[in-house]
Every structure is written in C-alpha cells, then in structure tokens.
C-alpha cells in the first residue's frame, strides 16, 4: 500500500456509499419493511473499545436496536442547519442500519426473512 492509500477522502467515501446504496436499493427495493424482519436487536461494541487494540476488551458487549437507529436517522433529517450534529452518536446509528443491510445480504440469513 502506498502512503496515499492510507488517506480517507470524503469524496471517495461518498461515492462508495452511493454505489453500495444504489446496489442495496436494486436488491431490496426502495424500502425495507422492518416489521417483517426478526432482526431488530444486535450486539455492539462501543467505538472507544473497538479501536483500542492495546488491550483485550473488558467492556461488555452492548445492545443496539435497528428500530431505534432508524428513528434517530429520521430525527437527524429533521434537525435544522443551526443544530449541532454529534457525529459520534449519529454515525453509530447509521452504522447500525448499514450492518442490518449487510446482514440482510448474507446468504441464507436475512434474505430468507424478507421473503
């Protein structure tokens, strides 16, 4: 890897998100009916613990909830331009939804639930 490959460019990230969300929409449609899924709760590890590779995690696993993540994303979209956006909080909710989409695409996991 070259040194330039260690740089996270927001334009590249935005483009990658667009490509992946376009493909997700192609596979699952423009909406995912959460009420038809058995997956709402999931295990999570807080980011401070997840990225501290200097020691074995001692913090317990947390529990996230997709329906809460979706509600928080909806609330984010209702905020005004003057409102503060706590990235650490809102990105965690976005990550929960993205993890659900990854789960739904697993062979013989989430796909069977949607049918």
Residue 98's pLDDT is: 97
Tokens representing residue 36 in the block: 């038809």
Mean pLDDT of the residues in the chain: 90
What was the pLDDT predicted at 4? 65
Q: Say which DSSP state 107 is in.
A: T
Helices assigned H by DSSP within 29-109: 47-50, 66-78, 87-105
Asked if 64 contacts 96 with a C-beta cutoff of 8 angstroms, the reply is: yes
Q: Rounded to an integer, what distance in angstroms lies between the CA atom of residue 14 and that of residue 1?
A: 22
pLDDT tens digits for range 17-32: 999 999 999 999 999 9
Three-state SS at 55: coil
> What CA–CA distance (Å, rounded) separates 113 from 30?
17
Which two structure tokens, joined as six digits, stand for 39? 């997956």
Q: What do you get for the CA distance between the two ends of the chain, in Å?
A: 42
Provide the 3-class DSSP secondary structure of residue 64: strand
What per-residue confidence (pLDDT) applies to 60?
82
Report the range of poorest mean pLDDT among 36-40, 43-47, 109-113: 109-113
Give the per-residue pLDDT at 114. 52
- So where are the chain's domains? 32-114
């Amino acid at each position: 890897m070259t040194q330039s490959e260690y740089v996270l460019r927001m334009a590249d990230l935005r483009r990658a998100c667009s490509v992946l969300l376009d493909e997700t929409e192609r596979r699952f449609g423009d909406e995912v009916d959460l009420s038809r899924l058995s997956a709402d709760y999931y295990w999570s590890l807080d980011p401070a613990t997840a990225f501290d590779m200097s020691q074995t995690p001692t913090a317990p696993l947390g529990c996230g909830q997709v329906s809460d993540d979706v509600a928080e994303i909806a609330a984010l979209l209702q905020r005004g331009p003057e409102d503060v956006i706590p990235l650490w909080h809102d990105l965690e909710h976005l990550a929960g939804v993205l993890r659900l989409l990854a789960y739904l695409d697993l062979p013989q996991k989430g796909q069977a639930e949607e049918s």
